[in-house]
Amino acid sequence: MKNFFKKLFIYFDELNFNYKTAFLVFIIAGGMICIIILSQISIFTMKQDFDTLFDKRTKSLMQLENIKDSYKVNLQDTLLDFEKEQISHTQAIEVLFLAQEIIDKNWDLYKQQIELKNKELLTTFIKTFIVKEENYYENKALKNSIMENINKKKEIIKKEIEKINQHIDYKKFSNINLEINAISIYLTSLINYDLNLAINEKRNTDKIFNVIIIFSIISIFIVFLFSVILSLLIIDNFRKLHNSLEHKVKEKTKELQELNNYLEIKISKEVAQNRKKDIIMFQQARFASLGEMLNNIAHQWRQPLGSITMIIQSFQTKMSLGKLTASFVDEKVNDALLLASNMSNTLDDFRNFFSPNKIKSQFYIKNCLEHSIELSKYFLNQENIQVILKIRNNVKIDSYYNELSHVFLNLISNSKDALTSNVDKNDRIIKIVVNRFKNHLVINFVDNGGGIPKEILPKIFEPYYTTKYKSAGTGIGLYMSKQIIEKHMNGEILYKNIFYKIKDDRVFSCSLFTIKIPLNQTNGNENEK
């Protein structure tokens, strides 16, 4: 679909100017036809709205006729039959009460109908501002008086029917017949009044519709005329613009030829200035690298500093308990010196990390892993994290010992954060498996910390991306690990979420980091089982 539209635009750009203008006229004319059709639909929709209102008005007349017929047929005829003893008292009472219910229902419906008003916004606007309604026959005081008289007569008739209900032999119906005849007269007057209003409203509706038709035709003609004029003006303007652009293109082409000759001279001067700028940018890049290196050092120092803090606190704890011994002091001092040495080496490591002339060394992968675990043992013990190290092939490699150790420290630190947040204290495990596959050293880091959410998986190796607070991490650990493995060791580091029986027979949701380091001819010649 995208290629189709692209080809269509290219084809349109290649058309002649006359075809483009004809196409523009076609679009405007089509738009006007659509406006005409839509306006006619709107007009007849409004007409239907008026006719619907008229139908609703005439329904009130039907209710009045029903009431009038009920008084005549259901009441008077029933009383006449009862008087002639053609029906029993019980039958007469049932018919009379049923007739009363029908009359009351129709009367209530009528009163609801007369309160009906047109709620359409368009219709209300037209009646208010365009065509004023003419209510020649509307006399609300007269209508209210008639309705009040009907209500009074209805009550009198109800009382007379109650007398008939209470006295079986009561057959004086002259009074009730007079009231029924009176109410029939009032109903006839009310019917005539509403009929006149409905006719008057229909006349107003037709008048409004005719005015709107005329107004619509005039509006369509004006819009169509304006569109034609506008199209002609646009076409003329395009033609002038086209000619003007052709003239300007010729002038600019001449200017460009002169400018090219001038630029050949100026470029030689700009090259010399750009060399000076390159030197300044190189200095700025070095400062930026220095800032990144300081952040990395701070990230790598956070862990050993925490361990040294724990060692210092252990002296205070042993002293307060009276269990401080010389052997304990020697052991902790040695541990602290080892951590301090590692912090010192970190400075050299990061200095070498940005240096193009780093020196490789040969070492066993087992020693590097054990060294990293030893540096992490204090916070691992504190969080009750068990580390399982399986060396299936202890390969001797020729690489950067300290940089690889930093990668292991980063992975252990990430696993520690996941385990302490999501796993029970008795089930926290980190499993490291080392193997050799063809010409690659493969190291798998597995922890049962629950894995990484799918929505952030693509970002875990991006610089400064972290899900922890600023105080907990800078988000450069995995980024630096990826840089070391891929750029300095020509290897690969991958991640995926797995389900794994890392402990007994239970299946845990685990994180798996896989490091693949290629082995050259000198790597892996000596293996220690």
Cβ atoms of 510 and 448 closer than 8 Å: yes
Half-sphere exposure (Cβ direction) of 294: Cα atoms closer than 13 Å: 5
Domain end (from 188, 215, 242): 215
Per-residue pLDDT, 397:
92
Per-residue pLDDT, 302:
77
- C-alpha distances (whole Å) from 306 to each of 264, 316, 339, 371, 375 are 62, 16, 10, 17, 11
Tell me the per-residue pLDDT of 114-150, one tens digit each, with 9 for 90 and over.
Answer: 665 544 444 555 555 555 555 555 677 888 888 888 8
Whether 192 is covered by a domain: the verdict is yes
Whether 58 is covered by a domain: the verdict is yes
Instruction: Name the domain count of the chain.
Output: 2
Domain end (from 215, 231, 258): 215
459 Cβ contact partners less than 8 Å away, ≥ 6 residues apart = 465
Cβ atoms of 427 and 388 closer than 8 Å: no
Whether 329 is covered by a domain: the verdict is no
- Alpha-carbon distance 112 to 114, whole Å? 6
Whether 240 is covered by a domain: the verdict is no
Dihedral of CA atoms 359, 365, 369, 371 in degrees, nearest 10, equals -60
Whether 29 is covered by a domain: the verdict is yes
Name the residue range of residue 108's domain. 2-215
Per-residue pLDDT, 101:
83
Per-residue pLDDT, 137:
55
Gyration radius of the chain's alpha carbons: 49
Cβ atoms of 297 and 346 closer than 8 Å: yes
Cβ atoms of 364 and 395 closer than 8 Å: yes
Angle in degrees, 0-180, between the axes of helices 401-422 and 365-375, rounded to the nearest 10: 50
Per-residue pLDDT, 190:
81
Per-residue pLDDT, 521:
45
Q: Comparing C-alpha atoms, which of 297, 432, 427 is closest to residue 372?
A: 432
Type and span of the H or E element at 403 = helix 401-422
Whether 124 is covered by a domain: the verdict is yes
- Return the amino acid letter for 357: N
* pLDDT less than 50: residues of the chain: 118-122, 282, 285-286, 288-289, 292, 353, 469-474, 521-522, 524-526, 528-529
Whether 74 is covered by a domain: the verdict is yes
Burial class (CB in 10 A: 0-12, 13-18, 19+), 121: exposed
* DSSP 8-state class, residue 509: E
- The beta strands (E) that lie in 61-100 are given as none
Per-residue pLDDT, 130:
54
User: Any idea which residue has 């619509």 for tokens?
Assistant: 216
Can you read off the two tokens belonging to residue 118?
A: 């047109």
Per-residue pLDDT, 364:
94
Domain end (from 166, 194, 215): 215
- Alpha-carbon distance 308 to 322, whole Å? 21
Tell me the per-residue pLDDT of 241-296, one tens digit each, with 9 for 90 and over.
Answer: 778 888 888 888 888 888 888 888 888 787 777 667 656 654 554 454 456 456 65
Cβ atoms of 478 and 414 closer than 8 Å: yes
Residues pairing with 510 in the sheet: 498
Whether 511 is covered by a domain: the verdict is yes
Q: What is the domain-level CATH number for residue 393?
A: 3.30.565.10
Per-residue pLDDT, 435:
94
